[in-house]
Amino acid sequence: MDKKLYGAVEGGGTKFICAVIDADLRILREARFPCQSPSETIANCLNFFQTAQAQLGPLSALGIASFGPLDPRPGSHDFGKILATPKPGWANTDLVSPFADALSIPVAFDTDVNGAVLAESLWGAGKGLKNLIYYTIGTGIGGGAIAENRLIHGLMHPEMGHAFLSHNYTQDPFPGVCPFHQDCFEGLASGPAIEARWGRKAYELPADHAAWELEAHYIALALVNTALMLAPERIILGGGVMAQQHLFPLVRAEFLKLLNGYLQIPAMLRDIDTYIVPSGLQGIAGLYGALALAIQAA
Ligand code: ADP
Ligand code: ZN
């Protein structure tokens, strides 16, 4: 029996979730810490893992799935660092060395969405698929991608949430909320964009509100672009906004409408209900993403 224990850190803009998880995916210890300054946050997480190791035994590896942008490429000069983030104090923070030095175990590091797509491919809605996309649509929008069973890295990691979509100002005069691009995907369709456009919290808008058709339009535009560029076998949607289950049929219908008969691929056209799907790891895709990274590192 594999008795290995893994450390997992889901680093978010508002909170860090730490857990010790065994090879049977059981969470043995878990703690949440508010995302404060890097030094306070890292100290809280380190303390958690040191205490857990003392009580449960040694960890085989640690995985950190974090908000970005970040450098996930082992061996690169900036590996382990959060890059240029507007989040005060966090730009250039080395998230890996403090854990690697203090715990003396392999530490894997990637974006929350790259972790999530890996976890979905292992245990969730993309089980067994080698070409998979995971989008989170929440406070921000991010996408993770697996191509032929490998996370896409390239120069850094995909930044699909900032892709540019066509924006019809007559239909939707809202300028967008992205501080860098205004009306990129995140600028038009993130939770804060919905709230700024309609002046109400996204979860307060009724299912028949015009907000959702527009939201589905933007999500479908992004998914059509993603499908055309990367040819994934499935696209998984998570994040707070996708808790609105009625968005799924709207997104699927709009996706097919935008494709307009191009790509006669049964998996996409006939089986649209299994092509665009909710997360299979509702709410734990991030933490299990960190676990998946840890298992890879070990
Ligand atoms: P984060 O992106 O910060 O990690 P979430 O994925 O939960 O966290 O996204 C939070 C965003 O999603 C907020 O903008 C919030 O308004 C929106 N949101 C959360 N729950 C819902 C819901 N049930 N319906 C619609 N929007 C929601
Ligand atoms: Zn942007």
Of all protein residues, whose CA lies closest to atom 7 belonging to ligand 1? 240
Q: Residue 291 is inside which H or E element, if any? A: helix 285-297
pLDDT of residue 111: 97
Contact 182, 176 (CB under 8 A): yes
Identify the pLDDT of residue 2: 58
Looking at 3.30.420.40, 3.20.20.60, 3.10.20.30, 3.40.50.1000, the CATH number of the domain 125-278 comes to: 3.30.420.40
**Residue among 17, 139, 251, 282 whose CB has most ligand 1 atoms within 8 A, to mutate:** 139
Ligand nearest to the CA of 279: 1
Fold match, 5-112+284-297 / 125-278: yes
CATH of domain 5-112+284-297: 3.30.420.40
CA of 215 to the centre of ligand 2 (A): 16
Domain map (residue ranges) of the chain: 5-112+284-297, 125-278
- Taking CA atoms only, the protein residue closest to ligand 1 atom 22 is 203
Check pocket membership of 241 for ligand 1, CB cut-off 6 A. Answer: yes
- pLDDT given for residue 267 in this prediction: 73
Phi–psi pair at 248, nearest 5 degrees: -60, -50
CA 220 to chain centre: 18
| pLDDT given for residue 21 in this prediction | 98
End-to-end CA distance of the chain: 16
CA 183 to centroid of ligand 1, rounded, Å: 19
pLDDT of amino acid 268: 72
Give the span between the Cα atoms of 183 and 186, in whole angstroms. 7
Atom of ligand 1 nearest to the CA of 138: 9
- Quote the CA–CA distance of 290 and 225 in Å, as a whole number: 27
Write out the two tokens for 163. 């892709």
**Helix, strand or coil, per DSSP, at residue 10:** strand
DSSP label at 246?
T
* 3-class DSSP state of 124: coil
Indicate the pTM of the whole model.
0.95
Predicted confidence pLDDT, tens digits, the chain (298 residues): 558 999 999 999 889 999 999 999 999 999 999 999 999 999 999 999 999 999 999 999 999 999 999 999 999 999 999 998 888 999 999 999 999 999 999 999 999 999 999 999 999 999 999 999 999 999 999 999 999 999 999 888 999 999 999 999 999 999 999 999 999 999 999 999 999 999 999 999 999 999 999 999 999 999 999 999 999 999 999 999 999 999 999 999 999 999 998 887 777 767 899 999 999 998 899 999 999 999 999 9
- Are 291 and 21 spatial neighbours (Cβ–Cβ below 8 Å)? yes
Tokens for 15, please give them: 């909170």
Q: Ligand 1 centroid vs 244 CA: distance in angstroms?
A: 10
Cα distance between residue 55 and residue 52, in whole Å: 5
DSSP secondary structure, 135-149, as one string: EEESSSEEEEEEETT
Which residue, 192, 193, 134, 185, is CA-closest to 162?
A: 185
Tokens of 72: 């996930």
Q: Which of 10, 85, 203, 284 to mutate to test the pocket of ligand 1 (most atoms within 8 A of CB)?
A: 203
Strand bridging mode 27-34 / 61-66: unpaired
Query: Please, are residues 66 and 136 in contact by the beta-carbon 8 Å criterion?
Result: no
User: What pLDDT shows up at residue 282?
Assistant: 86
How far is it, in rounded angstroms, from Cα 251 to Cα 221?
Answer: 9
Q: What is the DSSP string of 69-109?
A: SB---TTSTTTTBB-S-SSTTTTT-BSSHHHHHHH-S-EEE
Residue 262: the pLDDT is 87
Residue type, 95: L
- Strands (E) in the chain, as ranges, are 5-11, 15-22, 27-34, 61-66, 107-111, 132-137, 141-147, 150-151, 234-238, 276-278
Q: Output the CA 237–ligand 1 centroid distance in Å.
A: 13
Could you tell me how far CA 142 lies from the centroid of its own chain? 6
Measure the CA–CA gap between 17 and 15, rounded to whole angstroms. Answer: 6
